[in-house]
Amino acid sequence: METKKILYSGIQPSGAITLGNYIGAISNFVKLESQYNCLFAMADLHALTVRQVPADLRARTIQLTALYIACGLNPENNIIYCQSHVPQHAELSWILSCFSYMGELGRMTQFKAKSEKNSENINAGLFTYPVLMAADILLYQSDLVPVGADQKQHLELTRDIAQRFNGIYGDVFTIPDGYIPKVTAKIMSLMDPLKKMSKSDDPDSYISLLDSFDDIRRKLKRAVTDSDADIRFDPENKPGVSNLLSIYSALKNVSIEEAEKDFSGKGYGELKKDIAEVVVEHIRPIQEKYNMLMQDKAYLNDLLKTNAEKAQSIAQKTLRKVYKKVGLYQIK
């Protein structure tokens, strides 16, 4: 890869990509691919912290690969790969777990939240999840990691582990920074606009990039607004309307002020109907490209194989250096 800064991101193939994922993350990735050397992983090893139906996980992994490309990521310019196809992730994770402390892992708020949600399956992988995430990032000497609010604590832990390791063995790992786009719309739940849009909630609360157009129109028609009929951007007092304006603004690539003007004098019915059509027309070419790609599984398989080899080539350089530093004998 060229000498540009390295940007790393991983998404679990654990369900549909939502409109919130697309607006908040993937559409920004498309803008970044010319500025950075980007690696985009299907984080399937992370998905195993929750019991999976094997056939579904395999299907979702190939679907996510197709969706990445359908959303505009160029597979020639980026390394789009599957985490489990690069064994160095798991190998580095073990080494880093020996430099991570029980106390700091126990303080991770996501572990506490997920333990409450999955009380019958509080497994060791759920506890050490942040160490594998650190390995994902440090393996490629990543400079930047796009993170949402729920992952900031994990990135801080990654930095702590890297600095701890470097403090003992010298300059081994690049210390990654979080990447937060200058302007990013935060897309909220359609049913509860005080919560972030999430695929783990009621399906009516989010829009999937693979939803039928009729479902998209139905979900937006039922989206929560408020009793005040005025259409204005006011997240504190009018979170539902503000969320809809954010979606419109992001997909039409106009300012919030312009979005407000476009709906001046209109009612909520028109607002929802117009935004539904904007969403449908934006998603239509994504679905068309996705459906075309899914008809050529051989291409997707070859792409994942080639990109796994590229990722392994980079990862092995870091792992070899780590093994040497900690004193593991390596066959020449």
CA distances from 131 to 44, 163, 199, 293, 322 (A): 15, 14, 24, 34, 15
Q: How many CB atoms lie within 10 A of CB 125?
A: 15
Structure tokens at 11: 């998404």
Q: Which residue has the tokens 């992730």?
A: 89
- Active-site residue numbers? 114, 196, 199
Structure tokens at 47: 């998905």
Q: Which residue has the tokens 């939502």?
A: 18
One-letter amino acid at 117 equals K
Q: What is the dihedral of CA 67, 73, 76, 79, to 10 degrees?
A: -80
Q: Is 204 exposed, middle or buried (0-12, 13-18, 19+ CB in 10 A)?
A: middle
Three-state SS at 262: helix
Q: Single out the residue of 322, 319, 269, 305 nearest to residue 75, CA to CA.
A: 305
Instruction: State the Cα–Cα distance between residues 220 and 298, nearest whole angstrom.
Output: 36
Instruction: State the Cα–Cα distance between residues 111 and 127, nearest whole angstrom.
Output: 6
Output the CA angle 281-284-285, nearest 5 degrees: 110
Structure tokens at 301: 């398989």
